[in-house]
Each structure stands twice: as C-alpha cells, then as structure tokens.
Amino acid sequence: MQVTETLAEGLKRELKVVVPAADLASRLDAYLLDMKDKVKINGFRPGKVPVAHIKKLYGRQAMAELISNLINETTGKTLEERKEKPAQQPEIDLPDADAEAVLAGDKDLSFAISYETLPEFELIDFASVELERPIVEISEEEVDEQVKQIAESNRPFEARDAGAEVVNGDKVKLSYLGKLDGEPFDGGADENGELVIGSGQFIPGFEEQIVGMKVGDTKVIDVTFPEEYGAENLAGRAVTFDIEIKEILAPGDVEINDELATGLGLESLDKLKEIVRGQIESQFGAATRQKVKRALLDKLDEAYTFELPEKLLETEFDGIWNQVEAEMKQTGKTFEDEETTEDEAKAEYRKIAERRVRLGLVLSEVGEQNKVQVTDDEVQRALFDRVRQFPGQEQQVFEFYKNNQQALASLRAPIYEEKCVDFILELAKITDKVVSKEELLKQDEEEA
C-alpha cells in the first residue's frame, strides 16, 4: 500500500492511497477462506464448500465489504501515523470509473482522503487572566419583600355574606365562555375559574366589569385582546364573555409569622427567610456566572488568533444563518427593518461563527490537556432535564436521545464546555465587584 501527500496547504490536506490489486486478491482469499467454515450452502457439508465456489457466489460482495473496511482502517491508521487530528470526518473520493474493475480484482484500489487538520496553538497561562465578578449583596429588605409577596399569594379568603357585591380585592369563583364573532374559541371557557379582582390576571377590562356583581348574577362583557397576545387568531380582536358568579370571597389579613411558614410546610419564619435568601442568591448567582463566563470568553477570544478549519467554520455559519432566516420568516421582519443589508448581516454573523469555532477549539484543547471528563451520570441528568421539558411525550423524547448518538452528544457538549470554563476560572485572578441588581441583570447588546 502506498500513501502519497498531494496537498498540504494551510490546514488542508489531501492524500492519495493506492492498494495493489495483488494485495486486494490476497486479502480477498483470506476473507473467503474465513467464510468457508461459516457459510452454509445447499449440497455441501459445513466447512467443505470449495473456496472457488464461495468466490463465485460471494466474491463481489466480499470484495465490496473488504474495500469498505480497508478504507476505514487505512484512513484511521494513516492519520495516526501522521499525528494529525482532522477537524471533521475525512472525505473519501473513490473514482466511480474504476469501481467495476477494482471489484473484479483487475485494477489497483486508488482513493483520495481529504480533510482539514485542527490548528496547533499554545494555551496561555490562565493564572494571568484577570476578571471582575459582579455580585449583588442581598439585603434584609429584599428578603422581606419576597416573603411579603409569598404571604400575599397565600392570603386567606372567606365567603362574603349573601347579597354582597364584588369589590376590588375579592376572589370570585365563576364560569365563563368566550366567543369570537359569536362562536366559542379554544381556551376561552372554564366552569370553575378563580380570579382575584384587581390582580390583572385576565385580559384588560375583564376584571373591572365584574365589580358590583353578586352570586348568581350573569353578564355578557366585551373586551379586546392585546395586539401582542400570543394566539394570532385572538390578538387585537374584540370578543365577548358570558359570565356567571358562583361565589364571592373577601380577603383576610396577611400576617408574616411562624404560622405562615408552617402553613407552607416549614418549621419557622426564619427557615422561610433562609430559603428565600437562597433562592435570590441562586437567581443572581446564575446571572453572575453568565457575566463572568462571557468576560472570560472575551479574554480568550482576544488572546488567540489562528487559522480556522474552513469546513468547520462553514458548518457553524450555516447553522447560525439558517436560524436567522427562520426567525425572520417567523416574525416577518426584513434586513431593512434591522437597518442593515443581507451582506452586512452575513458579515456580522460570520464573525460570530468565527468566535464560536475559535473558542470551541480552545476549550476543547483545555479539556483534552487537562483530562476534563463528562460522566455518564451527568449526561443522564441532562437527559432527564430535557425529557421533563416535554410533558406527555417523555417516553418518545427519551427514546429519541437514547437511539441518536448525535443528539446525545448535543447534551454532553454544553456540560463539557462548562467544565472547561470552570477549570480556567479556578486558575484565573477574579476580583469581586458589588453591583446593583439592575446592573447585574442588564443584558449586553451582544448577548441580546
């Protein structure tokens, strides 16, 4: 077998591989000899089928399998010997014109392997990376405000006396039937609805028209759905609701004490405050993490400049651009609406693709050099989290990921990335900076 390099330009490589016909014939004979003890053919005892007869029946099929295996084996072995890492699966070019002659054993097997190598670069000293970590100090007042909201959402209600009219703040139990152009519409009916008047839960104008009604009263009210309403068939449309009031309950007093906590299954008010503080810290902690991660990625993007594998870049750009086009089609927006042109937009998104590929290669190198691993348990937890996002379809989603290695890899990749980021952050010099809640949660233009 002869391997000749025919192209070495930047990251691009092309190799020509030639396997002599005599070598193929030798391999085929060994292959058929191995089949002799396994194949069953009518009229012959097991193991007694002549090799020539097997070759006549299965020679072409055996040669095809042999060639396929040989190409895979040669590709992997050649790259290993050259100590090269392909950026993507190498492409194999096997001339169609030679196929029949090669299968018949009359011609040498000749094929080309083309691929791009991963760029080589040195990792920087991550201890030299300086980052600011924005944090929010949680005040007692903020915790108390959250507890107050919890208490408000658990406010007790008691039935009003007979003949009482609905006033703002009351909870009413009612039935309603929504109609568009006189016909009921999906999602517009409930026989046992509950509504706190003044809470703004329902369509603007709905709650105000219930004020003054009594138990047993019926009424037809007119409202208009907001222009930005989620259901397109209802957005901005005028509708009616047939309403009947079934019960009116007056709000009781809200008391923030141990009794409130025990009603929520906790042992004390202090425990409730502790949990609330933890939830707030978790919310802000996630935002802090995202800010630090972005700052780190910005630093890494500035630190590295190397040639990117062209096909890897094109694959990334195509994925981004397809998403952009799909979103524009869905929203009905044009490039003019965004005050840009298609060419300018493509240039900007190509920069994003370049950044993603570059950072992906850097983080991958960090993970490889430092033996970062993603465990099966971590992938399993990610899978269960994904499954829970599709209530009612859990089994189908679970089976899809279990039977699709590429989909399963899409769950593993972000875990691996986060672990590589964590590894770098452990080494970097990080200084905490106290910021306001608004500043921490403000979304950068690029993030938006």
At 446 the pLDDT is: 44
Cα–Cα distance for residue pair 121/310, rounded to 1 Å: 17
pLDDT in tens, 414-431: 999 999 999 999 999 999
Does residue 137 form part of some domain?
A: no
**Last-in-domain residue among 62, 93, 116:** 116
Burial class (CB in 10 A: 0-12, 13-18, 19+), 424: buried
Average pLDDT, the chain: 89
Q: Do residues 108 and 22 lie in contact, with contact meaning Cβ atoms separated by under 8 Å?
A: no
Does one domain contain both 311 and 409? yes
Cα–Cα distance for residue pair 364/362, rounded to 1 Å: 5
At 269 the pLDDT is: 92
Percentage above 90 pLDDT, the chain:
59
Does one domain contain both 375 and 311? yes
Does residue 146 form part of some domain?
A: no
**Last-in-domain residue among 222, 251, 280:** 251
Does residue 138 form part of some domain?
A: no
Does residue 417 form part of some domain?
A: yes
With a cut of 70, say whether residue 47 has pLDDT above it: no
With a cut of 80, say whether residue 36 has pLDDT above it: no
Does one domain contain both 354 and 244? no
At 443 the pLDDT is: 65
> Around Cβ 409, how many Cβ atoms within 10 Å?
12
Does one domain contain both 67 and 167? no
Cα–Cα distance for residue pair 319/382, rounded to 1 Å: 23
Domain with residue 240: its CATH number is 3.10.50.40
Does one domain contain both 282 and 202? no
H-assigned helices in 332-432: 342-369, 376-387, 394-402, 405-427
At 425 the pLDDT is: 96
> Around Cβ 435, how many Cβ atoms within 10 Å?
19
> Around Cβ 309, how many Cβ atoms within 10 Å?
21
Does residue 325 form part of some domain?
A: yes
pLDDT in tens, 127-136: 999 999 999 8
User: What six digits make up the tokens of 158?
Assistant: 């008691």
CA dihedral over 261, 266, 271, 275, signed as positive or negative = negative
With a cut of 70, say whether residue 55 has pLDDT above it: yes
Bigger pLDDT: 57 or 263?
263
**Last-in-domain residue among 116, 131, 165:** 116
Backbone conformation region of residue 372, classed left if phi is above 0, alpha if psi is from -120 to 50, else beta: beta
The mean pLDDT of 35-55, rounded to a whole number, is 70
Does one domain contain both 53 and 173? no
Q: Do residues 92 and 73 lie in contact, with contact meaning Cβ atoms separated by under 8 Å?
A: no
Q: Do residues 123 and 366 lie in contact, with contact meaning Cβ atoms separated by under 8 Å?
A: yes
Domain with residue 72: its CATH number is 3.30.70.1050
pLDDT in tens, 200-243: 888 999 999 999 999 999 999 999 999 888 788 898 999 999 99
Burial class (CB in 10 A: 0-12, 13-18, 19+), 241: buried
CA dihedral over 410, 306, 428, 297, signed as positive or negative = negative
Does one domain contain both 199 and 277? no
pLDDT in tens, 156-192: 889 999 889 999 999 999 999 999 999 999 889 999 9
Does residue 121 form part of some domain?
A: no
With a cut of 50, say whether residue 29 has pLDDT above it: yes
Contacts of residue 39, Cβ cutoff 8 Å, sequence gap at least 6:
49, 54, 58
How many domains would you assign to the chain? 3
Does one domain contain both 411 and 307? yes
Q: Do residues 187 and 260 lie in contact, with contact meaning Cβ atoms separated by under 8 Å?
A: no
Cα–Cα distance for residue pair 144/134, rounded to 1 Å: 23
User: What six digits make up the tokens of 65?
Assistant: 């399998």
Chain center to CA of 301: 23
pLDDT-based confidence at 38, cuts 50/70/90? low
Q: Do residues 177 and 184 lie in contact, with contact meaning Cβ atoms separated by under 8 Å?
A: yes
pLDDT in tens, 184-202: 998 899 999 999 998 888 8
Domain with residue 394: its CATH number is 1.10.3120.10
Q: Which residue has the tokens 């920069």?
A: 351
Does one domain contain both 235 and 268? no
Closest CA to 15 of 92, 86, 114, 116: 114
Does one domain contain both 74 and 47? yes
pLDDT in tens, 98-148: 788 888 888 888 899 999 999 999 999 999 999 999 998 888 998 999 999
The mean pLDDT of 303-331, rounded to a whole number, is 93
Residue 127 DSSP class:
G
At 200 the pLDDT is: 87
Residue 178 belongs to what H/E stretch?
A: strand 171-180
Q: What backbone torsions phi and psi does residue 414 show, to the nearest 5 degrees?
A: -65, -30
Rounded alpha-carbon distances, angstroms, from residue 26 to 29, 64, 138: 5, 14, 77
Q: Do residues 264 and 257 lie in contact, with contact meaning Cβ atoms separated by under 8 Å?
A: no
Percentage above 70 pLDDT, the chain:
96
Does residue 37 form part of some domain?
A: yes
N-term to C-term CA, the chain: 55
Does residue 130 form part of some domain?
A: no
pLDDT in tens, 67-109: 888 899 999 999 999 999 999 999 999 887 778 888 888 888 8
Does one domain contain both 300 and 395? yes
At 252 the pLDDT is: 85
At 448 the pLDDT is: 46
Cα–Cα distance for residue pair 143/278, rounded to 1 Å: 10
Q: Do residues 86 and 115 lie in contact, with contact meaning Cβ atoms separated by under 8 Å?
A: yes
Does one domain contain both 245 and 274? no
> Around Cβ 345, how many Cβ atoms within 10 Å?
15
Q: Which domain holds residue 218?
A: 157-251
At 217 the pLDDT is: 95
At 447 the pLDDT is: 52
Per DSSP bridges, beta strands 183-196 and 429-434 are unpaired
With a cut of 70, say whether residue 445 has pLDDT above it: no
